[in-house]
Structure formats: structure tokens, C-alpha cells
């Protein structure tokens, strides 16, 4: 499910890199701590709900 949310985020952010400020080695640590990205600007509410 996580990868589907990331796919949607990439689509609605026009291909931006997810977690741009977090080194790749730290992404899993941040996810375990509850960090989640906000939906990109202009993303429909329904899609944002799926991402969460």
C-alpha cells in the first residue's frame, strides 16, 4: 500500500522525488517514526486521502 501512495504522490507532483529532504538511508527510520509526506499542491482531496 505504501508504494501505491508514493506512486500517486509522484504522479501528482509531476515526477518530483519523494522525501526530498531525507537521505535515502533515513527514509525507513522516518516512516517507522510516523513521518508522512503531505499530498502535493493541487492534488485532489480524494487522492490525498488514499495517500494517507
Whole-number pLDDT of residue 1: 78
- Domain span including residue 13: 2-51
Quote the CA–CA distance of 30 and 36 in Å, as a whole number.
Answer: 8
What is the number of structural domains in the chain? 1
CA torsion angle for 34, 31, 35, 44 (degrees, to 10)? -110
Taking residues 44-49, report their average pLDDT. Answer: 94
Residues 6 or more apart whose Cβ sits within 8 Å of residue 16: 10, 40
pLDDT digits (tens, 9 = 90+) for 1-39: 789 999 999 999 999 999 988 999 999 999 999 988 899
pLDDT tier for residue 52 given thresholds of 50, 70 and 90: confident
Quote the CA–CA distance of 41 and 34 in Å, as a whole number.
Answer: 21
Amino acid at each position: 500500500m505504501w508504494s501505491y501512495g508514493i506512486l500517486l504522490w509522484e504522479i501528482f507532483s509531476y515526477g518530483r522525488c519523494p522525501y526530498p529532504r531525507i537521505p535515502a538511508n533515513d527514509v525507513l527510520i522516518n516512516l517507522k517514526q510516523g513521518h508522512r509526506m503531505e499530498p502535493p499542491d493541487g492534488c485532489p482531496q480524494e487522492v490525498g486521502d488514499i495517500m494517507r
